[in-house]
Amino acid sequence: MGIWQILGIAPTSDSRAIKRAYAALLKKTHPEDDPEGFQRLREAYGEALEQAKTLESQARADAHSVGGSANDAAASNGEHDAERLPAWGEANRLAQRRRVTRTNDEQGSPAHPGPTDMPASVSEQPVDVLDPDGLIRLFEELYNDYAQRIQVEKWNELLEYEQLQNFSFKQEVQPKVLAFLSEHPHLPLPVWQKLDQIFYWTDDEVGLAKLVPPDFAAFVLNSIRQPAALRFEYLPFGKDFLHDEFLSLRARGAALLGNGRLREAMEQFDTAYILFHRDPDLLRLRATTLHLLGEDLRAEEDWKALVAAFPNERDALLRLADRFLETERAAEALDLIQRALDLLPNDPQALLGLARCLRELERFGEARQVCDLALLLEPSDIELRIRLLDLQAMQVGQLLEVLKRYPGDRDSRFAAGELLFELERYADCERLLTEAPMYGSTSEMKTLLGRVWIILGREEEGARCLDQAVDLSSSSSQNAYYAWLHRGLYRTGCEQWSAAEKDLKTAQTLFSGENVIIWAALADCAIGQHHHKEALELISRTLSLKPEGVHYGKRAIIRYRLGQYEDALADFERASTNRSIHPDWLWMKGLCELQTRRYDEALKSLEHARNFGDSPIVRVALCELYLRKSRYAEALAEAEKATEVDGKLLLLQGWAYRKLGRSHEARGTFMRAAEVTPDDPEILRFALDELAASGEASALDYADRILALEPEDTETQMRRISVLFEHGRAAEAESAISELLNRPSIEPFYPPLHYYIGAMLVEKDEYESAMPHLRRAYDAGLRGDVTSLLSIALFEIGLTEEALQLARAAYEENPSHPDYKSRLEKMEGRSSIPSSLRQLMRSPSRRESWPFSMKLRPIRIEPRDVRPYEMEGWNR
Amino acid sequence: MDAYGYQRALDWATALGAPLLTQNGVQPPYTPAACRNANFNSSGILEDLWGITDAEGMRHLAERMWAGMHNPGFQDMRVKLSGMTLAQRKAYVESRREMERYAELYTVHLYMDRLPPAGIAAWDLGRLAFYLRCARLEGYIGEEEEEICLLHTAVRARYSYRSWPDYAVAYMAGRQFWAGDLSEELSEINVGILRGPLADESTPWRELEWEIELPEPPSLPWESMTGN
């Protein structure tokens, strides 16, 4: 018996007819009474649904009509060509059916085996043990019942099925799930996301692409990530409704809209509208498309229908209000805007609409207040500012009319003047404030006039006027806040920090509440007076009320000055959230990055900052960075650009010369640095090192200056000693060594110093004392005189063999040295005498006379390899 | 149309370039003489920004700007976002904060519902009006060609927006989109540019009504040249 015979209907593509027939037969065929008959019915039902889809596809293809399946839903993500219909869904299904048929033929088993042949709802299914096909059948049942399909929890229940935790089961079922989705794509977003949690498609896009064609893989990924998910719950649940057809049309229309194909999108929406006209998403999409097509009259109808059926659809309320405003129905618009604001208070878009309504209703003052509030919430909104400007211009017109009739109305005069000031119509403002002197001036009017004069370049008169305003307010009962505030702000601008601070603090006492302008200006005063901690507190308070980029920038500067570099960087980051950072701050940001060892970022920031102008501090920092990156030529080029004389920069320049092997220029530059900064021992040392390394007597001057500043500086003393010896000033050298020997310890260990001490002790015949010093110098790698003198010390204390060995080594190393030769000869001549006897023979009158001359071979100490920018005090 | 009406139409068309004229120090009315008095570097502007040194370059720029220079990018983002609800759009735009072109996306999100279908065409058209004046000052195009091009520009603007403030909003939304700068500071600078044209006592934007009657623009000179 064929499937259609079992179902008792003719072959059809109408799945509803199949469902109806199946439902009617189910009432007569109970699984317990007739398990075989029930099984046949289930199989026939499943197969009939499959065939119905094929028939439907063919019919659609024949009729070139649109609709259905993943192709349409794929289009809804807006990133596919809506006309490209991936045929994988159908092809896969047919192939699967062929496989199933073949399997049935081979095994003689039913087409859809499994324990899930219950026609009840999914929640009633026994799901303890399922095979992949059984799971898919449960999916299909859930999908086919629209009321259940849109219940996310039903899918969650099914997808939490234990076997789906099993890797091999998941591997097996995954292709089937994908095949199912290609046929049943209209699922709520959370269901897609749940499937993704199980199969990790978004985490493994490559794996997904191996399983399905690229178009379908893209569709799956976009279905999971779709930012514009449409709602499913407003469609009728009845089985007679063509859910998938409607959803396909809607999805296809949305995709066409996203691709800017508005007319085609409209066709889809209009067809969907015929099927069902109360879907809020369809109405919204259609109205949006109509608006973009300039068909606002039709759009209005959809927005109205939407607002009527769904009074809480905020989008519709706002769009319809826009439409009313454009068509001079401000009162109606106002009602809608207020409803939208009830749903989401302080929404800047709604506030802008409200301001526009109020303006149209000529409630200018309120409109300005609303604009001001909206600007606090959305400071970058240019429309708000333009509308505000427009409002100000209108209000001025109104006030000027009032003044024509009542010229003595000082409040109106001041209000009009302030508006003109804000509109930057300064000449008009001045005229207004001075044209009717017989009515007198208030303190506020005088303040405003002072401000205008200052802007018009009459600064002296302006400043005087501000003083008069303060005096006037103090001597009368007029509001003094305005006068004190503006004089304080003016003085801040003039960098009269202390006076400004006083005025601003007075203004603060006259103002009830928190005042961002005052706090920000007081912060400026504190910065100007180097009261950085106070400035930090003030600007933080400002930010708590008005988190603007400019205030974050200011706080960053304060934090930079307080050495809070990480925090400063975070503030610079905030300050530049909406735009590239202010050029004036860029160099400070670069320095913060330098301080926090973010060298690459620092280099980028500072090179950028350099484009905005020449700055010594930027140059020093850039030079340092180039040196850190071993870009010596660039460092040198940067330093050579300097027109200013800066000790630090000269030091870096000298270092660049040294690294480039230009030692002569390095020495000259270090000496210039020392001249520029005569009291900085760290800079003086660079000059000393260069001079001492070439044995120049002028090194002694630098050494003395350093030692005067830092008497405990052993290394400088050591270089001094070496130069003293070289220039025959042995007595001074010895005195210096004696002073060093009196110290509890001579640290750090400098081999040359031990050499000099040893040499001096040898000269005094104190061989035993000399030996350990010379030994340390020798062990540290010093040779020549060290080797030779050590040999003498060793010889004299009886270590003859080692002494001879060293004496020979010294001679072989430098055969032309007359002392080394004669010392060796002397030792060799006496080495036959036992050492004990030699000791006995020694007396002051019979003291050995060793050839001894320190001047012949002085030790020159190499300059220290200390990078200037690594010095402890570099960042002071 | 009589000579008075024609002149008003031309003044109206020139006033489309008011933001850039103001930025370059030109005082209203924006006559060629006023532009010369402002003494701005019109040749530098054309050459440095657009590589224009002759009539052909100017004509090519006009064609490009009529077709839309920045507006297509804006409109493209706009339609991509238009399928979303406000809440979805806000969440989506927020999720792109760290991505490239976030500022542009945010600008589109901010203005897309308020702008007419023409989007930020005002930004292209307004700049073109100014560049046409520059080209005339430099002698790349003559008075007649400037007028014809201005009228073509004017017709496009006139039927795309409803008022000078609406035009100003679209122009500055375009400027923000182009600059990729959402800062309050730029917003303040932008409004500063518009303060004169919008709020001064006597400026074309206040004296010439938006719904002005425009003559049918004559055909473009280079089209007739091609036709010959």
User: Would you mind telling me the total number of residues written for chain B in this entry?
Assistant: 228
Class of residue A39 by CB neighbours under 10 A (exposed 0-12, middle 13-18, buried 19+): middle
Selecting from B91, B114, B206 the residue whose C-beta is nearest the C-beta of A383 gives: B114
Chain-centroid distance, C-alpha A568? 13
Q: What average pLDDT score do residues A113-136 get?
A: 55
Contact list, B199 vs chain A (CB under 8 Å): 389-390, 392-393, 396, 423, 425
Contact B194 A389 (CB under 8 A): yes
Q: Choose between A435 and A48: higher pLDDT.
A: A435
CA–CA distance, A334 with A324 (Å, rounded to integer):
9
Do residues A774 and A780 touch, judged by C-beta distance below 8 A?
A: no
Closest-CA distance of chain A to residue B217, Å: 23
Do residues A387 and A356 touch, judged by C-beta distance below 8 A?
A: yes
Res. A121: pLDDT tops 50: no
Q: What average pLDDT score do residues A47-65 get?
A: 60
Res. A108: pLDDT tops 70: no
Nearest CA in chain A to B95: A227
The interface predicted TM-score of the complex, written ipTM, equals: 0.90
Closest-CA distance of chain B to residue A584, Å: 14
pLDDT in tens, A374-401: 888 888 888 888 888 888 888 898 899 9
Q: 10 Å Cβ neighbour count for A590? A: 27
Selecting from A78, A390, A396 the residue whose C-beta is nearest the C-beta of B198 gives: A390
| pLDDT band at residue A122 under the 50/70/90 scheme | very low
Q: Which residues contact B192 (CB under 8 A, 6 or more apart)?
A: A424
Q: What average pLDDT score do residues A171-189 get?
A: 91
Q: What is the pLDDT of residue B123?
A: 96
Contact list, B72 vs chain A (CB under 8 Å): none
Angle, CA A481 vertex, CA A480 and CA A484 arms, to 5°: 85
Q: What average pLDDT score do residues A256-274 get?
A: 94
Q: Does B189 touch chain A (CB under 8 A)?
A: no
3-state DSSP assignment of residue A681: helix
Do residues B8 and B15 touch, judged by C-beta distance below 8 A?
A: no
Q: Does B92 touch chain A (CB under 8 A)?
A: yes
Q: Does B165 touch chain A (CB under 8 A)?
A: yes
| pLDDT band at residue A245 under the 50/70/90 scheme | very high
Angle, CA A836 vertex, CA A835 and CA A841 arms, to 5°: 90
Q: What is the pLDDT of residue A69?
A: 46
Q: What are the structural domains, with CATH classification, of chain A?
A: 1-65 (1.10.287), 70-233 (no CATH), 243-310 (1.25.40.10), 533-656 (1.25.40.10), 768-859 (no CATH)
Selecting from A322, A378, A385 the residue whose C-beta is nearest the C-beta of B114 gives: A322
| pLDDT band at residue A582 under the 50/70/90 scheme | confident
Res. A78: pLDDT tops 50: no
Chain-centroid distance, C-alpha B99? 28
Tokens encoding A592? 């913060």
Average pLDDT, chain B: 91
Closest-CA distance of chain B to residue A596, Å: 23
Contact B201 A294 (CB under 8 A): no
The full 3-state SS of A93-108, as one line of letters, equals HHHHHHHHHHHHHHHC
Contact A386 B184 (CB under 8 A): no
pLDDT in tens, A647-698: 889 999 999 999 998 988 999 999 999 998 888 888 899 999 989 988 889 9
Q: Does B101 touch chain A (CB under 8 A)?
A: no
Nearest CA in chain A to B93: A227
Average pLDDT, chain A: 83
Q: What average pLDDT score do residues A727-741 get?
A: 82
Q: What is the pLDDT of residue A678?
A: 87
Q: What is the pLDDT of residue A109?
A: 37
Q: Does B113 touch chain A (CB under 8 A)?
A: yes
Q: Does B85 touch chain A (CB under 8 A)?
A: yes
Res. B110: pLDDT tops 50: yes
Q: What average pLDDT score do residues A506-519 get?
A: 89
Residue pairs spanning A and B at CB distance below 8 A: 133
Q: Does B184 touch chain A (CB under 8 A)?
A: yes
Q: Which residues contact A679 (CB under 8 A, 6 or more apart)?
A: A709
Q: Does B83 touch chain A (CB under 8 A)?
A: yes
Class of residue B61 by CB neighbours under 10 A (exposed 0-12, middle 13-18, buried 19+): buried
Determine the residue among A380, A401, A419, A572 to mutate to test chain B binding: the one whose Cβ has the most chain B Cβ atoms within 10 Å.
Answer: A380
CA–CA distance, B18 with B2 (Å, rounded to integer):
25
Q: Which residues contact A207 (CB under 8 A, 6 or more apart)?
A: A200, A201
Q: 10 Å Cβ neighbour count for A741? A: 13
Q: Quick one: which of A377, A356, A376 has its CA closest to A367? A: A356
Selecting from B76, B82, B169 the residue whose C-beta is nearest the C-beta of A382 gives: B169
Do residues A648 and A620 touch, judged by C-beta distance below 8 A?
A: yes
Point out the least confidently predicted range of A312-316, A616-620, A728-732, B50-54.
A728-732
pLDDT in tens, A766-805: 888 889 989 988 998 888 889 999 999 998 888 888 999 9
Closest-CA distance of chain B to residue A312, Å: 13
Q: Which residues contact A201 (CB under 8 A, 6 or more apart)?
A: A195, A207, A208, A220, A221, A224
| pLDDT band at residue A612 under the 50/70/90 scheme | confident
Nearest CA in chain B to A323: B114
Closest-CA distance of chain B to residue A382, Å: 6
Q: Choose between B125 and B96: higher pLDDT.
A: B125
Q: Choose between A551 and A58: higher pLDDT.
A: A551
Q: Does B198 touch chain A (CB under 8 A)?
A: yes
Q: Does B205 touch chain A (CB under 8 A)?
A: no
Selecting from B75, B173, B191 the residue whose C-beta is nearest the C-beta of A260 gives: B75
Tokens encoding A645? 């004389």
Percentage of residues of chain A with pLDDT beyond 70: 85
| pLDDT band at residue A340 under the 50/70/90 scheme | very high
Point out the least confidently predicted range of A116-125, A200-209, B101-110.
A116-125
